[in-house]
Chain A
């Protein structure tokens, strides 16, 4: 199965959720800043990276895990992916799209804007890290539910 975590920019929430899914971030304690900054793509993608579906890795059930940034067009992304899946005869058992945006908080939005859009990383990044930690257990719960459904 292919699991695609998606969010606005593919730089913070989807990357965090995918990393928890793959075991790169702990699900029983809060990670420190260094652990978060060490995960691939965390606070790195820029505008021209939006839309690229990036492969992150295989989970313990050999599911492929991906991330993608789709700005504010959640339904367009989902319609395209589900529609193309239909064309090729695929179902929810083959591809799952997971929207991580409901777990994004204001700190992540503001920090992400400052770091990625304004490119003022020294100011934006600490705000994002604080934001990710605020929502961390929500990401962990999301991943637990995804894993339960995709076993």
Chain B
């Protein structure tokens, strides 16, 4: 299965969430964004290119994708594109995190575009920590749904 975490750039909120999902995140003294590989490593022209984060304990591949400021449109594109490639819906999933992105993160992204890197990093750090609680909630819900789906499939396989 392939799991796609979505946010504006694919290298901020979604990357944080993907790393948390994969248990790659140290949260002891708050989120340290410098320790997250690929965080804030964006080139505007490459937004949309899937970024491979890792595999979970069930060997599912985890990616992040930037959807710019059009999450609804590109969630449809991703779903329809996978469909026309012949991928069954049970073989992939998308988690849209664009609504979680905090104002601090958005400000940090904007400062980055103007090459004010140190100021950007300051706001991105605050943003990441502000978003974390909601990310935990989203991941928890996603994990429960995935578990429930797996149990239903197992049950159906036993019957048939």
Contacts and interface: CB of A to CB of B under 8 A. Distances in A.
Interface of A: 2, 48, 50-53, 55, 64, 66, 68, 70-71, 73, 75-88, 90, 95
A73 B76 contact: no
A76 B48 contact: yes
Contacts of B50: 80, 83-84, 86-87
B94 to A, nearest CB: 11
Contact of A90 (B2, B49, B67, B85): B85
Contact of B81 (A48, A73, A84, A86): A84
Pairs A-B, 7 closest by C-beta atoms: A79-B48, A51-B76, A51-B73, A76-B48, A53-B80, A83-B50, A79-B49
30 contacts: A50-B73, A50-B76, A51-B70, A51-B76, A51-B80, A53-B84, A55-B84, A68-B77, A71-B70, A73-B73, A73-B74, A75-B45, A75-B48, A76-B47, A76-B66, A78-B48, A79-B47, A80-B50, A80-B78, A80-B81, A81-B77, A81-B81, A83-B49, A83-B50, A83-B65, A84-B50, A84-B78, A84-B82, A87-B61, A88-B87
Contact of B47 (A51, A75, A85, A87): A75
Tell me which of A48, A64, A79, A86 has the highest count of chain B C-beta atoms within 10 A of its own C-beta: A79
Nearest to B2: A87
Given A48-B72, A64-B84, A79-B46, 13 more contacts: A50-B73, A51-B72, A53-B76, A73-B73, A76-B47, A79-B49, A80-B49, A82-B49, A83-B49, A84-B78, A84-B81, A87-B50, A95-B85
